[in-house]
Amino acid sequence: MANNRKSSRPAKPLKHLSAACLAGILAAVALAFAPAALAAPTDPAAARVDAFDHALIDAMKAGPSLGVKGRARKLAPVVAATFDLSTMTRFAVGPKWADMTAAQHDSLIAAFTRLTVASYAHNFDSFGGERFDLDPNVQARGADKIVQCKLVPPHDKPVALVYRMRQTADGWKVIDVYYDGISQLTTRRSDFAQPVSSGGAEGLLGHLDALTDKLLR
């Protein structure tokens, strides 16, 4: 039968512990109270946004050394992997899309892709301690998914980012981004309306190329 009596032996004072033993105790305490590392998101739509956020941070950290054109080259593959650029282009062009040829569609998608890459390369140009806080709670909107996160600058208010995602043959991809509640795709459609109306596909292509060139200077 086990002896349940408490030992009368006094506890060893902390100051009498060896340096190695004390260091081990302090390390264990620190580990116990340290914040848990953020787990990678399990939802595939959220994982896609999370990978894009990390790519943006990497481009920002390398920003001054790469320059805007270098950042564009670095971001081009991840933009193509993250966004459903054909769907976004079709919506941004509007009803006139149906009157255009397949070759014009391809040219507009390529030009819209270049503009999207240039926009991120221009706007995310340097790193000053920013971070992205991703909300792991993904919402369903019909067949689409909504992924929310915040861009948190170190000395300014966070910027709310909402990604509308759609399933494609290559997995979940972004079809629209809302910055503080404003749809960027709707903004693009409004901006493209006049060039499409006055010049059709060729007029819009010239407009897209001019915007891209300006961002990459």
The CATH number of residue 140's host domain is 3.10.450.710
Structural domain includes residue 156: yes
User: Tell me, what amino acid is at 125?
Assistant: D
Confidence of residue 39 (pLDDT cuts 50, 70, 90): low
**Average model confidence (pLDDT) across the chain:** 87
Confidence of residue 25 (pLDDT cuts 50, 70, 90): very low
Confidence of residue 13 (pLDDT cuts 50, 70, 90): very low
Question: What is each CA distance from 145 to 38, 49, 81, 87, 166, in whole angstroms?
Answer: 22, 12, 17, 15, 7
What pLDDT is attached to residue 31? 35
Specify the number of domains making up the chain: 1
pLDDT in tens, 66-103: 999 999 999 999 999 999 999 999 999 999 999 999 99
Q: Which residues of 175-205 are buried (b: 16+ CB within 10 A; e: fewer)?
A: bbbbeeeeeebeebbeebeebbeeeebeebb
DSSP state of 179: E
Residues 6+ apart with CB under 8 A from 125: 60, 63, 64, 68, 71
Is the pLDDT assigned to residue 61 strictly greater than 70? Answer: yes
Structural domain includes residue 24: no
Q: What percent of the chain has pLDDT over 90?
A: 80
Which residue in 49, 120, 104, 112 sits closest to 86, CA to CA?
112
Q: Report residue 177: phi and psi, to 5°.
A: -125, 130
Q: Higher-confidence residue: 108 or 17?
A: 108
Structural domain includes residue 200: yes
Element (H, E) at 144: strand 144-152
Structural domain that includes position 53: 44-215
Tally the residues of the chain: 217
Per-residue pLDDT averaged across 47-68, rounded? 96
Is the pLDDT assigned to residue 182 strictly greater than 50? Answer: yes
Q: Higher-confidence residue: 101 or 12?
A: 101
What pLDDT is attached to residue 18? 44
Structural domain includes residue 21: no
Residue reference for tokens 């200077």: 217
Structural domain includes residue 18: no
DSSP state of 7: P
Which residue in 199, 183, 177, 153 sits closest to 60, CA to CA?
153
Which residue in 137, 135, 95, 89 sits closest to 113, CA to CA?
89
Structural domain includes residue 4: no
